[in-house]
Amino acid sequence: MNTISPDRSGPLALFSQRLEGVAGAERQQAVAALQRVGLPSRRVEAWKYTALRALGQTSLAAPAATYDVMAARAVLDDVLAAQDTLAGLPRLVFVNGRHAPELSVLSEAIKVTFFVDTLRFGTAAAPDRDPLVALNTALAEDGAQMQVEAGVDAGALLLLSIGLGGQDSTFSFHPRHAVVLEAGARLALLCVQAGQGAYFHNPVTDISVGNGAALEHVTLQLEGDAAVSLGTVYANVAGEGVYDSFALGVDGLLLRHEVHARLGASRAAVHVNGVQRLGATQVGDMTSVITHAAPDCISRQTVRNVLDGHARGVFQGKVLVEQIAQKTDGYQMNQALLLSPDAEIDAKPELEIYADDVRCSHGATVGALDDEQLFYLRSRGVPEAQARQMLIEAFLDETLALIAHEGAQALCRAMLARKGGVGASA
């Protein structure tokens, strides 16, 4: 039997009852890793700006085996109504971390198995290095494992994760997803995380993009108002493959979207872009580590934040260029628009380069709405609220245009429009 060390009195103690007695070698190794290091505190460099206080102090149990079907369907209908083209897409729906077949519509072009049946954890994720992945490894119950065969264009798939919480964050779920694109395959994966109330959502996604394959991966964090969502993505990209990632953070008490992407062979490309539109006391964290492990590869990263109230945004982006990765072309930019004197952005772009024939750049900018532009619009009869909205739209529009899939881009714009971030059309 595994016993959690008594000195782990922080967030890890919330899971102590569930971690005791987990079965299986991989799960036990994950628990052992958690025993050694606990869950991350702000003393850990990668979590310097993001505390886990939002998890609360109540033990986080497993969700109930049943759920409110009408409430889950209402969340699904709300997402589909935001962009009418989504209704015709195949979809995989999970409620509180478990597959909901009655809400799902499978695709013939994608081979789908489920973690609950296979217990395959994948090879890219590293529980010994990342405590949140270790926690997922120990407690994962279900998840989708998606495979597209060589040369197949599978179109688009909606992966919807619904959290149905209560007034207090008393349960957590830890989906374990995997995506495998064989050589020359193509897929647009739209991951929508939506919900109601309070819960802890800790998904891990293991991605493999084969030679010449292309994955567009769009993640929308539309969690419950009191929810905590800490997602981790590992992506390995083979020669001439493309991993095109975009994350939108809108709803939730604490949001973190962390991407580890590795360019493993020549002429691979990785894009890790995103937008955060936060207000009140929300905290949003976009963290990435892009590793160039082969020559002649490209990476691009553009993240923009619009922060109001007492919201705090975090951007941590690291580009690591190994010695073998000559002819690397890497670009990274984070920009933040602060709408309140109480809003805060913590930006930490990094380059770590061991090759000598590269072209890499990074940067960060922080500012407020331009008073001259605001005055110009108001002097032409535009009301102040509308003028502010127009400037916010202009700030975000260029980044949203990086989403190639029209339906996914339209959905992001619609959700931002609800938040007061950007109009529903380009």
Q: 279: closest CA among 259, 257, 255? A: 255
Q: How far apart, in whole angstroms, are the C-alpha atoms of residue 246 and residue 189?
A: 11
18 found inside a domain = yes
Residues 380 and 236 occupy one common structural domain: no
Q: Are 200 and 54 in contact (CB under 8 A)?
A: no
Output the six-digit token pair for 306.
């619009």
Q: For residues 336 and 345, give the distance between their C-alpha atoms in angstroms, rounded to a whole number.
A: 7
* Alpha-carbon gap, residue 202 to 227, rounded angstroms: 11
The residues near 285 (Cβ < 8 Å, ≥ 6 apart) are: 49, 50, 254, 255, 256, 257, 258, 313, 314, 316
Asked whether residue 69 is assigned to any structural domain, the reply reads yes
Highest mean pLDDT among 23-32, 159-168, 286-295: 286-295
Question: Which is more confident, 64 or 245?
Answer: 245
Segment 378-415, tens digit of pLDDT? 898 889 888 988 899 999 999 999 999 999 999 999 99
User: pLDDT band at residue 421, thresholds of 50, 70 and 90?
Assistant: low
Domain range for 413 is 370-426
pLDDT of residue 2: 41
The answer as to whether 304 is a domain residue is no
pLDDT higher than threshold 80 for residue 167: no
Within a domain: 297: no
pLDDT digits (tens, 9 = 90+) for 171-204: 999 999 999 999 999 999 999 999 999 999 999 9
- Amino acid present at 111: K
Residues 142 and 257 in one domain: yes
Domain boundary among 263, 284, 318: 263
Same domain, 250 and 386: no
- pLDDT band, residue 301 (cuts 50/70/90): very high
Q: Which residue has the tokens 């245009």?
A: 401
How far apart are alpha carbons 315 and 289 in whole angstroms? Answer: 11
Q: Considering the chain, what is the average pLDDT of its residues?
A: 92
For residue 230, tell me if it sits in a domain. Answer: yes
Q: Which residues pair with 334 in a beta bridge?
A: 303, 364
Q: Examine residue 47 and state whether it is found in any structural domain, yes or no.
A: yes
**Residue where one domain finishes, among candidates 237, 263, 289:** 263
Q: Is residue 109 a contact partner of residue 92, using CB atoms and an 8 Å limit?
A: no
Q: How far apart, in whole angstroms, are the C-alpha atoms of residue 406 and residue 216?
A: 12
What pLDDT does 127 receive?
Answer: 77
For the stretch 255-295, pLDDT in tens is: 999 999 999 999 999 999 999 999 999 999 999 999 999 99
Contact between residue 105 and residue 91 where contact means Cβ atoms under 8 Å apart: yes
- Taking residues 222-248, what's their average pLDDT? 96
- What is the pLDDT at residue 422? 55
- Mapping DSSP onto H, E and C, the string for 230-281 reads EEEEEEEECCCCEEEEEEEEEECCEEEEEEEEEECCCCCEEEEEEEEEECCC
Helix intervals (H) in 44-145: 69-82, 115-118, 131-139
pLDDT digits (tens, 9 = 90+) for 324-360: 999 999 999 999 999 999 999 999 999 999 999 999 9
- Determine, yes or no, domain membership for 294: no
Distance CA 259, CA 276 (A): 15
Domain-located, residue 342: no
pLDDT of residue 9: 54
217 and 81 in a common domain: yes
247/376 same-domain check = no
pLDDT (0 to 100) of residue 424: 43
State the pTM of this model: 0.93
CA distances from 169 to 54, 198, 225, 227 (A): 9, 5, 11, 7
Q: What is the pLDDT of residue 162?
A: 97
Q: Domain boundary at 231, 263, 295, which?
A: 263
Largest alpha-carbon pair distance within the chain? 72
Q: Say if residue 184 is in the same domain as residue 57.
A: yes
For residues 39 and 164, membership in a common domain is answered with yes
Structural domain total, the chain? 2
319 Cβ partners below 8 Å, 6+ apart? Answer: 290, 292, 299, 301, 330, 332, 350, 351, 352, 353, 360, 362
